[in-house]
Structure formats: C-alpha cells, structure tokens
Amino acid sequence: MATLENLDKKELIDPGPDRILGTGHDYETVTDRIAGIVYLPWKRSPKKWLVGAFISFLFVNLLMLAMWVLFAKGIGVWGVNIPIGWGFAIVNFVWWIGIGHAGTLISAILFLLKQDWRTSINRFSEAMTLFAVACAGMFPVLHLGRPWLAYWLFPYPNSMWLWPQPRSPLEWDVFAVSTYGTISLVFWYCGLIPDFASMRDNAPHLWQRKIYGVFALGWRNSAIHWHRYQKAYLLLAGLATPLVLSVHTVVSFDFAISILPGWHTTIFPPYFVAGAIYSGFAMVLTLIIPLRAWYNMRDLITLRHIDAAAKLMLGTGLIVAYGYAMEAFFSWYGGDKYESFMYWNRMTGPYGFSYVLLILCNIALPQALWSRRVRHNIGLVWVISIIVNCGMWLERFVIVVTSLHRDFLPSSWGMYIPTKWDWATFTGTLGFFMFLIFLFVRLLPSISIFEVREVVHHDRYMERAYEEKL
C-alpha cells in the first residue's frame, strides 16, 4: 500500500482542463489517495483544517445560543413584525435549499447526461446538499413560534380531529423538503456503500475496519450485486432529477401563489430553480477549491472540473439575469400600478442598495467568467463564487423584504432591520454547515472511489484503443 507520506512528496500536478484524472493512476493508487485522507491520523490533519473546524464549531455554539434565546423569549428577538413577517428565516431557508440543488444536479442530472467529469465531485456535492437541506429545514421550524409543535405540519391521526391544509403551498413545502432531504440521504448512502466496503478492506486499524464494515452492510462486490446496484442508482438519479426541479418550484409557489406584487409572478418557478443551481455551483466551487489545495487533490479535482462548474455557473447566471429582466419588464408592461410601484421601489426605495448590490454580484461581476483566462485562474474563480453566493442571498432578501415592506396601504408600510439574533442564527447555520463539511472530509471518502476506478479503466481502454490505431 502506497502511503500518503510517499504521495505527499510526489509532485501532484493538475493535468489541465482536458483530463478528469491526473496521469499515472491505477486502481490501487486512487483508493489510497482518496481513502488515505480519511486514514490520516488526527494529529497530522492540515493546520488549516484544524483552524477551520474550530472556528466553525464556535459558530455552531453561537447557533445553539441563538436558538436558546429564541425558544426562551419568542420570535420577538428577531426583527420580523407586520408587515414584514418573513425576514431572515425565509431568506435563509430559500437560500440554503437552493445551495443544495447543485449537489443533486451534479449527482443526478449530470449522471443521466453521462457527463463523466461529475465523478470526482459528486460525492462531495451530495454531502453539501444534505447539510444545506439540514440548515434549510431548521428555519421554517424556528420560525413557527412554537417549534415544539412542528409535527402538526404532518398529517397524522390526532385527538383534535384536525388535518393540515393540503391545498396550501406551505404544506406542499413540508412534503417537498422532507422528501428532498430523505432522497438526498438515500442517494448519498447508496453511493457510499461500495466505498465503505473498500475502506472495510483496507483501513489500517481494526476499529476503523469494524466501523466501516457495519456501514458496508456486507457488500462483497459481486457482479450480480453491482448489476442491481447500478440499476437502483440510475433509477434514483432519474427520480432525483424531477424532484430537484419540483422542490424549488414548490418553494417558489410559497411566493407566487400569494397576491402580493413582487411575489405573484408566473416566472418564479423556472427562475427560482435556475437561481438555486447558480448558487449551488457557486458553493461547490467555494468549497472544493480550498479542499483540493489543503488535501493535495489537484490530480483528482482538476481544472476540468473547475472550468466546467464555472461555465455552468455562468450559464445558470444568465438564466437568472433573464428572470430579473422579465420581472422588470412585466412590472412595467403589465400596467398594474402596484406592480410597477413595487419594482420602482425595489430599485430606488429604502432597500435600493440591496438591489444594486444584487445586480452587481449576480449579473455584472460573474460575466468575467466568459474569459478562459479568468476561468483558469483558480483564485479568481473562488472569489467570483463567493460573490455569487452573496448575490444569491441578496436576491432572496430583495424578493422577501422589498415586496413586503410596501403594502397596498401606505399606513401599513414598515421597515425590517435584522437584529443581532437574526445574524447569529444565520451565521450559526453557516458554521453548522461548514462544521459538517469539515467532519465529512475527515470521516468519509469525499470522492467516490469506485467511480474513479471506472475512470481509470476508461482511460486505459482509450489508451489501448489509441495505440492499436497507431
């Protein structure tokens, strides 16, 4: 077994924008490279990992504190009030759910489209999906006011003889988000089973072999098992694809089905889905760029992945730009007084700064990605991905807050100023998300080992075919 120490000394070179995998890999080296990160003794964790995990753990504690204050004192600790009853809680909910969507897109849609570059990043983005959904799911529950009664959202026989209202998009949301969380977990675990088996068989310590062995469920790489496994995985991908589109569509219905100017638009479902994938790709890039540097994975996550993700980010960003343009156009062309006032107010009103920042972050700056030189400058791609994350968060803020703060009646106009507990909850979930990501890269193989073996096999096959042609 080649140890990670030996590999560290080797110069690991990014093979450039044409290859998914660095040269010189075989079935064994990819296993050792990917699983080696998990086997690395805790003491030898990169310093940056320790610092990052520690800081994010502090924010997890901040989240706990914010929740405790919220439960003890009630929703009043947040800045929400009439007319803005949906503040940070819903902004963050929509933002987090959106981030999750790129994970499903990479693992399911790109799988169906046979985009083989997804292989090295699908496991990681599925984990990202799962953790983002966990963060998203917290917000509506915290926002309930009486979160201990959250189970009332589910239809179950009860002594009050009451049932939830299934004609309401808020109830659709309950089903959509809980299904999305469950299916993401199933998909992720399904992909992990063969890798758990690999780790059961080559982990250095017996206790590690035992733990991974339990999760491997006795997987023994039988050809017939693989056959059923591939079918099940394909079907899961086929089911997850419409699911991911439906989830953000349902989230957008929360807004679109109301009669509020700024929310009541038919363009919301496609434009929300595009925005979700946009922000998700931005988050994937924000996370994998440091990860590949810290763990020396430049030969596994290559410029090919970063280039493709950046292009997809640019593409979905343009769909989002089209959405903004159509929203503005129809608020003028539709001739509705309230609608056109809403849009004018969104651009020039008290929250006008957020709209300007939104256009800057989401539309203007990402256009730099048209340039090949920018896409191949990894540091710059990383900065742009963070800008897009901020931009997409601002988009949710603009939609939720500017539409609510100017009601039909000037007497019920108001302002929303997030309190410190709003910020604490939001940054707390960011810390929670990052902490889970830090643990994930440490405890589980963050790249699908068996799928990379398939890439190795494919590369060898192509090389042989090429040689035969010569």
Q: Which is nearer to other proteins, 223 or 259 (CB)?
A: 223
Residue 453 beta carbon to other proteins: minimum distance, rounded to whole angstroms = 4
175: which 2 tokens? 């089903």
**Three-state secondary structure call for residue 81:** strand
Q: Which is nearer to other proteins, 163 or 332 (CB)?
A: 163
Residue 17 beta carbon to other proteins: minimum distance, rounded to whole angstroms = 25
What is the CA 216 to chain-centroid distance, rounded?
A: 26
Q: Which is nearer to other proteins, 84 or 108 (CB)?
A: 108
Residue 269 beta carbon to other proteins: minimum distance, rounded to whole angstroms = 11
Residue 452 beta carbon to other proteins: minimum distance, rounded to whole angstroms = 9
Whether 407 and 83 have beta carbons less than 8 Å apart is answered as yes
What is the CA 103 to chain-centroid distance, rounded?
A: 6
Q: What single letter denotes the amino acid at residue 272?
A: F
283: which 2 tokens? 């988050």
Residue 180 beta carbon to other proteins: minimum distance, rounded to whole angstroms = 8
Q: Which is nearer to other proteins, 154 or 332 (CB)?
A: 154
* 446 DSSP 8-state letter: S
- Alpha carbons 67 and 245: distance in angstroms, whole number: 31
Helix (H), strand (E) at residue 62: helix 47-73
What value, to the nearest 5°, has the Cα angle with vertex 89 and ends 428 and 131?
50
Q: Which is nearer to other proteins, 157 or 335 (CB)?
A: 157
Whether 209 and 196 have beta carbons less than 8 Å apart is answered as no
Residue 107 beta carbon to other proteins: minimum distance, rounded to whole angstroms = 13
* 363 DSSP 8-state letter: I
Q: Which residues bind other proteins (CB under 8 A)?
A: 26-28, 31, 155, 161-164, 166-167, 169, 171-172, 175-176, 179, 182-183, 186-187, 189-190, 194, 197-198, 200-202, 217-232, 235-236, 239-240, 242-243, 246, 250, 253, 450-451, 453-454, 457
Q: Which is nearer to other proteins, 109 or 236 (CB)?
A: 236
Q: Which is nearer to other proteins, 48 or 464 (CB)?
A: 464
Residue 258 beta carbon to other proteins: minimum distance, rounded to whole angstroms = 15
Q: Give bridge partners of residue 84 from the DSSP assignment.
A: 81
**N-term to C-term CA, the chain:** 35
Q: What single letter denotes the amino acid at residue 158?
A: N
- Alpha carbons 375 and 384: distance in angstroms, whole number: 10
Residue 214 beta carbon to other proteins: minimum distance, rounded to whole angstroms = 9
Residue 322 beta carbon to other proteins: minimum distance, rounded to whole angstroms = 25
- Alpha carbons 330 and 322: distance in angstroms, whole number: 12
**Three-state secondary structure call for residue 6:** helix
336: which 2 tokens? 């509705």
- Alpha carbons 10 and 3: distance in angstroms, whole number: 11
- Alpha carbons 419 and 422: distance in angstroms, whole number: 5
Q: Which is nearer to other proteins, 229 or 382 (CB)?
A: 229
Q: Which is nearer to other proteins, 254 or 395 (CB)?
A: 254
Q: What single letter denotes the amino acid at residue 99?
A: I
233: which 2 tokens? 């995985």
Whether 283 and 348 have beta carbons less than 8 Å apart is answered as no
Q: Which is nearer to other proteins, 30 or 388 (CB)?
A: 30
Residue 232 beta carbon to other proteins: minimum distance, rounded to whole angstroms = 4
- Alpha carbons 11 and 322: distance in angstroms, whole number: 44
Residue with tokens 């410029």: 303
Residue 223 beta carbon to other proteins: minimum distance, rounded to whole angstroms = 4
Q: Give bridge partners of residue 81 from the DSSP assignment.
A: 84
Q: Which is nearer to other proteins, 5 or 28 (CB)?
A: 28
Q: Which is nearer to other proteins, 68 or 226 (CB)?
A: 226
Whether 421 and 77 have beta carbons less than 8 Å apart is answered as yes
Residue 361 beta carbon to other proteins: minimum distance, rounded to whole angstroms = 31
